[in-house]
Amino acid sequence: MSGQGTTRRTLSIDIGGTGLKAIVLDCNGVAVDERQRVPTPQPATPRAILDALRGLIETQPEFDRVSVGFPGVVHDGVVWTAPNLDPGWRGVSLAKALQDVTGKPVRVANDADVQGYASIEGSGVEMVLTLGTGLGSALFVDGRLVPNLELGHHPFRKGCTYEERVGKAALAAVGKKKWRKRVSRVIAQIEPIWNYRLLHVGGGNAKLLVVDDLPANVRLHSNLGGVLGGIALWRD
């Protein structure tokens, strides 16, 4: 299937550690309904999430294809890692499972990659960080994705990874003020390594950051990007 098509609608799904979101986009990537959200089942097993998605999908208007952002490494629609969900996800063909549910073609990518498609300008090196249950990351060069970058699991400070320092659990443990300082340290650490032109920060906790506290080449984005970027998965 090539191009976006002139009339095709895309159901865009964002699977997160705390919430499952869905919205339908027209052929230009414009939302045709309000984003719907339900809590992520706990434990977040494949069966539990697929059952929850089935109910969420039933609330959506008509669509022709499906895009999914998943919080882990995905290859050809098959999950390789799901650090903030359930170990049972490894080896699950999420694309096939949702195709069976919807009867429509499905494409799946890392959730930060999808967020990035909704955020980037498409020029030079651009990095994306998503602050949510964990820490997602994506890298783009002139608008082209370098897929499945898992920066969040790299060692950072005091024997902890980036994700362990600024993920949801860390925010709850240290509070907003100290968490913001940690995020600033993360940005200061990665900038001279990746030398990006722009850093885009999204995810559910990006709203807690203060723009004036961030470097000039950092852009904040709403969590809606997790679903609005879904149409890009169908650009061949």
Give the structural domain span for 167. Answer: 121-223
Instruction: Using pLDDT thresholds of 50, 70 and 90, give the confidence band for residue 235.
Output: confident
Of the pLDDT bands very low, low, confident and very high (cuts 50, 70, 90), residue 2 is very low
In a domain, 59, yes or no: yes
Residue-wise pLDDT tens digits, 40-68: 999 999 999 999 999 999 999 999 999 99
Identify whether residues 186 and 212 lie together within a single domain. yes
Whether residue 146 is predicted with pLDDT greater than 90 in this model: the reply is yes
The count of structural domains within the chain is: 2
Claim to verify: residue 143 and residue 159 sit in the same structural domain: yes
Distance, CA of 83 to CA of 161 (rounded, Å): 13
pLDDT at 165: 97
On whether both 160 and 108 belong to a single domain, the answer is: no
Tell me the pLDDT tens digit for each residue of 70-127: 999 999 999 999 999 999 999 999 999 999 999 999 999 999 999 999 999 999 999 9
Reported confidence tier of residue 234, pLDDT bands at 50, 70, 90? very high
219-229 mean pLDDT: 91
* Phi, psi dihedrals of residue 148, rounded to the nearest 5°: 60, 40
Looking at the domain assignment, is residue 3 inside a domain?
Answer: no
Can you give the pLDDT at residue 3?
A: 45
Contacts of 28 (CB under 8 A, 6+ apart): 4
Average pLDDT, the chain: 95
Handedness of CA 184, 123, 225, 138 (dihedral sign): negative
Kindly state the average pLDDT of the residues 9-18: 96
Parallel, antiparallel, or unpaired for β 160-161 and 198-202?
unpaired
Residue 140, domain member (yes or no): yes
